[in-house]
Amino acid sequence: MSPQPLRQATLAILKLVSSKSSTPASAAKPAKNAEPILAAANKLRAGYGSAAVCGEVSFALRPRQALALIGPNGAGKSTVLKTVVGALAPVAGTCTVFGAEPDDRSLTFRRDVAVVLDEDAFFPSLTVSEHLAIIAAGHGVEDVAAAIENELEFFGLAREGDSLPHSLSSGQRRRLLLAAAFVRPKKLLVLDEPEQRLDTTMRAQLADRLSAEVAGGIGLLLVTHDPAFLLASATAALSISDTVQSLKPAAAAAAISAADPMAG
């Protein structure tokens, strides 16, 4: 789509949202039984074609839980993450999101799952604010302007609202990707090394916010190499290698530090 029609489409969405009643749509009532499984893997072998890159991965992630995947570079952490969200097909075993095979084309997946991988996926003709606006409006955020303002402030992008992606630094582009995940509602948040390209202060603030989001009811699946970040945000961990081991957060953070004393 050329720049002008794309911007017109973005503005049309914002106009439509602003014209709606301020009364929120009725939400489905949560079930009174046990917490649902948001994402799960059962003897999952992740890889490419018929070649697995790590051992079998099994987990069940529910609301108010945060599972961190740790391991050395090349161990297969990101490959597992991409397989769980449907970007790669499993070599063996199964993975599900909300009880179904992951499919980012489905309404349920696109409505309830926010994913940030290590990719700069931007519309080059949209400003920072316009990127956030189209995502917030598209996901039914009631007060789009306030949501954008909050995320720009939190991620230190308040002065970059009118900037285009190509003019941002690498760290700022990373913050924009994260802001896009937070500006919208979600039940499951999937992050590949969210601390990457962030300074120490921003890492700590992001970890605290993730912890609060998890306490508020979302599920979090992330890859991290930062022991402090893991301790602040995760409730459980898996060490990914030729064999896969379940760890408590303190043990996982210690394993990261032992493997790389400079980690974090």
Domain presence at residue 243: yes
Domain presence at residue 229: yes
Domain range for 58 is 36-123+191-259
Under the phi-then-psi rule, with left for phi > 0, alpha for psi from -120 to 50, and beta for the rest, what region is 241? beta
Domain presence at residue 135: no
Contacts of 223 (CB under 8 A, 6+ apart): 68, 69, 70, 77, 78, 81, 191, 192, 193
Domain presence at residue 163: no
Structural domain count of the chain: 1
Task: Kindly state the tokens that stand for 116.
Answer: 């940030």
Domain presence at residue 197: yes
At position 23, the amino acid (one-letter code) is T
Per-residue pLDDT of the chain (264 residues; tens, 9 = 90+): 555 655 665 555 555 444 443 333 333 444 445 789 999 999 999 999 999 999 999 999 999 999 999 999 999 999 999 999 999 999 999 999 999 999 989 999 999 999 999 777 788 899 999 999 999 999 999 999 999 999 999 999 999 999 999 999 999 999 999 999 999 999 999 999 999 999 999 999 999 999 999 999 999 999 999 999 999 999 999 999 999 999 999 999 999 999 876 666
DSSP H stretches of helix in 56-101 = 77-84
Domain presence at residue 8: no
CATH number at residue 53: 3.40.50.300
